Amino acid sequence: MSNPTNVSVDPAEPYGKNETPPHAPPSEPGAAAMASLALAALGIVFGDLGTSPLYALQEAFNGARGVAATPENVVGIVSLFLWSLILMVSVKYVLVLMQADNHGEGGLLALLALLVGNRTGRETRKAALRWVFLAMFGTAMLYGDGVITPAISVLSAIEGIEVATPAFSHFVVPITVVILVALFAVQPLGSGRVGVAFGPILAIWFVVIFVLGVASIAGAPAILAAFNPVNGVTFFLHNGFRGFLALGAVVLCLTGGEALYADMGHFGARPIRLAWYGLALPALTASYLGQGALLLRAPAAASRPFYTTVPTWGLYPMVVLATLATIVASQALISAVFSLTRQAAQLGLSPRVTVRHTSSSTAGQIYLPGLNWLLMAATIGVVLLFQSSDRLAAAFGIAVSTTMAITTMLFAAFAHVRWKWPVWRVVLVAGVFMVVDVSFVAANALKFADGGWLPLAIGGLTFLVSTSWLLGLRAMRRSRGDSGLPLDAFLSSLAKDACYRVNGTAVFLMAVGDSVPTTLLHHLKHNQVLHQRVVLLTLLTGEIPRVPPDERFDVQCFDQGFVRIVGRYGYLESPNVPVLLQQTLQKAGREKYDAMTTSFYLGHESLTVSTGLNLGRRLLLSLFVLLRKNELDATTHLGVPPNRVVEMGARLDID
């Protein structure tokens, strides 16, 4: 057997090397480019955060859990809003978490990949699995956010019609449904085409709410006392348990914080920070202060404080602008859910789904048909069920606060394990965040019966799918096992007892390790023949977003016409096997890849669940079997020509 060539990374690592070779840092963009990126970030990153003033503050003074709009309560509530933005967005996400980036990418799954990396040893693998399940649950909660955000955002914008003309109130829900249908209907065009004006629309929105806020503050400057955090503490002392319940409304001003962290890979940390500190934070601060100033002058306006700050002549234009802004916020979240689903599938946390790329130049612009229509049906169903933003606000918050708390847990573990922070520092930094996060979770949990069950149900269903998929894959791999026959021994036996060889190339998928694929052994056993060239292909998904081209693959050339290829992809990439073969075979000095003389041998198991399992595990594995039957087929996922695929069937019991 000849010596392997061009091997730079140990193929036994399931996620590649954790210590990725350093790359040259990207050059800093100029001032004009930085301003352009910051403007674009306004539309994609801050849509959810930016439209929260439409419904957040009014929730604190309405409903069974609302407090009276007294001057002390108004100042106290606004103080809680301001300091929540400062502590949880400006400090937690913008200053701290955005430093925990995975080659520029952020978000729960990126943080998870950084944390678990290459865990070795039985105990560390168990610990890594616990973090995986925790991240899966936090990610699942974002799907609840993805359903509710478009509903409450657009609904609250259209409700401005009620302030202008109460007689039109019965048109609010139908108009909202029409807008949502149109929003989801244009998704096949791609976020790049439908989102060209995202940044400018949000920039106009932020400028307008800033001006409205400042004008209102001028009428009651006493609201500036909200900058004193003591007033927030005093609010709790005066209102007791009812004051604690108000945190369920305060967390609404933080919706979008996770998106800020997750979307940093699109623009980079500096443009996002520039957009936040330069426009978004001042505008949100002015808006909440302005609404508070209005309530100091007119407490009766607590039912619609945002639109009441708008002059009568500007109500209809403001409804139009608010609708456009909420469409932007909804679009950004829909795109984030698409990306999140694709990442989860690449990391093996969910079934493969159909992904359509809507841009030839931007890899991140994707469209998932099935998920798009499912989101549309769920979002419209939520609007029809709750009918108003007031009622829907009761359902909002628990998913956001839960995900925020899980992010803090993962960050604490990451800072201790990867950054080597001492325990006291982890407790000092992450502990403060966790106290606030847990307070928000507890306050929102009390709204379960009023609608909090909805995001939990959506998130729970999503988590159930992910859990069954992960456990099912592990069970299937255990049951499938491997051939147990080392490649060296197989090639030696093949040299002694040669079989008939035919022209062409055969490609077999090979697991991590050195065991010959069972598909190859079955093929040789039943057909008594091998191709002149046999490619053993291993595909790895790494813990980095994208693999540099010079680290894409390794090639090992063996006797008997065998070639071992290890291809590596990031969790934001999709494999393309024909392209990989063309690159690798040319580098290996073999014949060029010819699609018409290449056959791909794929295993196809017929799965059954073993009897004798407990009910819970049996149900999870039965769900896995159902998902496995309906996932995107491997042929499409790998990008191989369907007419060149040979499937080798087998029956497999999983337990």
Tokens of 5: 């060539």
Residues 6+ away with beta carbon under 8 Å from 136 = 349, 463, 466, 467, 470
| Predicted local distance difference test score (pLDDT) of residue 482 | 62
Question: Is the separation of the CB atoms in 450 and 388 below 8 Å?
Answer: no
Is residue 18's pLDDT more than 60? no
Task: Give the mean pLDDT of 224-252.
Answer: 89
Pick from 429, 447, 471: which residue ends a domain?
A: 471
| Predicted local distance difference test score (pLDDT) of residue 628 | 83
CA distance 154 to 406: 28
CA distance 135 to 149: 21
- In this structure, is residue 480 part of a structural domain? no
Q: What confidence tens digit (pLDDT) does each residue in 176-198 have?
A: 899 999 888 888 876 555 555 67
Residues 6+ away with beta carbon under 8 Å from 625 = 472, 607, 608, 609, 654
| 451 and 499 housed in the same domain | no
| 495 and 465 housed in the same domain | no
Domain count, the chain: 2
CA distance 155 to 174: 10
Computed over every residue of the chain, the mean pLDDT equals 81
Question: Is the separation of the CB atoms in 25 and 176 below 8 Å?
Answer: no
Amino acid at 340: L
* Phi-psi region at 370: left, alpha or beta (left = phi > 0; alpha = psi -120 to 50): alpha
Tokens of 322: 């608010």
| 397 and 525 housed in the same domain | no
| 505 and 571 housed in the same domain | yes
| Predicted local distance difference test score (pLDDT) of residue 387 | 84
| 246 and 309 housed in the same domain | yes
| 454 and 600 housed in the same domain | no
Pick from 437, 471, 505: which residue ends a domain?
A: 471
- In this structure, is residue 441 part of a structural domain? yes
Query: How many CA atoms lie within 13 Å of 212's alpha carbon, on the beta-carbon side?
Result: 25
Strands of 645-654's sheet, edge to edge? Answer: 553-557, 562-569, 529-541, 500-509, 598-609, 645-654
Token look-up 């929105």 returns 205
Is residue 296's pLDDT more than 60? yes
With a pLDDT cut of 90, the percent of the chain lying above it is 17
Is residue 484's pLDDT more than 80? no
| Predicted local distance difference test score (pLDDT) of residue 10 | 29
| Predicted local distance difference test score (pLDDT) of residue 8 | 28
Task: Give the mean pLDDT of 370-390.
Answer: 88
CA distance 216 to 313: 16
pTM for the complete prediction?
Answer: 0.78
CA distance 164 to 566: 64
| Predicted local distance difference test score (pLDDT) of residue 12 | 31
- In this structure, is residue 234 part of a structural domain? yes
Question: Is the separation of the CB atoms in 387 and 447 below 8 Å?
Answer: no
Tokens of 324: 């456009």
pLDDT: which is higher, 362 or 212 = 212
Question: Is the separation of the CB atoms in 571 and 109 below 8 Å?
Answer: yes
**DSSP assignments along 445-501, one per residue:** HTTIIIIIHHHHHHHHHHHHHHHHHHHHHHHHHHHH-----BHHHHHHHHHHS--EE
Of 446, 553, 456, 565, give the one whose Cα is nearest residue 507. 565
| 460 and 548 housed in the same domain | no
- In this structure, is residue 26 part of a structural domain? no
Q: What confidence tens digit (pLDDT) does each residue in 65-88 have?
A: 778 889 999 999 999 999 999 999
CA distance 132 to 18: 17
| Predicted local distance difference test score (pLDDT) of residue 24 | 39
- In this structure, is residue 19 part of a structural domain? no
> In Å, what is the CA distance from 34 to each residue of 40, 301, 518?
10, 40, 53
Is residue 423's pLDDT more than 60? yes
Q: Give me the domain span that covers residue 427.
A: 40-190+197-471
| 100 and 207 housed in the same domain | yes
Question: Is the separation of the CB atoms in 176 and 158 below 8 Å?
Answer: yes
pLDDT: which is higher, 212 or 631 = 212
Helix axes 315-346, 31-45, angle to 10 degrees: 90
Question: Quick one: CA torsion of 399, 278, 92, 124, rounded to 10 degrees?
Answer: 90
Task: Give the mean pLDDT of 515-539.
Answer: 86
Of 50, 614, 61, give the one whose Cα is nearest residue 332. 50
Q: Which of 41-45, 106-110, 579-583 has the highest mean pLDDT?
A: 579-583
| 206 and 267 housed in the same domain | yes
- In this structure, is residue 11 part of a structural domain? no
User: How do beta strands 562-569 and 529-541 pair?
Assistant: parallel
Helix (H, G, I), strand (E, B) or coil at 202: helix
| 221 and 255 housed in the same domain | yes
| 492 and 362 housed in the same domain | no
Pick from 471, 499, 529: which residue ends a domain?
A: 471
CA distance 343 to 16: 17
- In this structure, is residue 34 part of a structural domain? no
With a pLDDT cut of 70, the percent of the chain lying above it is 89
Of 341, 345, 438, 412, give the one whose Cα is nearest residue 111. 412
| 495 and 399 housed in the same domain | no
CA distance 293 to 214: 10
- In this structure, is residue 95 part of a structural domain? yes
CATH number of domain containing 373: 1.20.1740.10
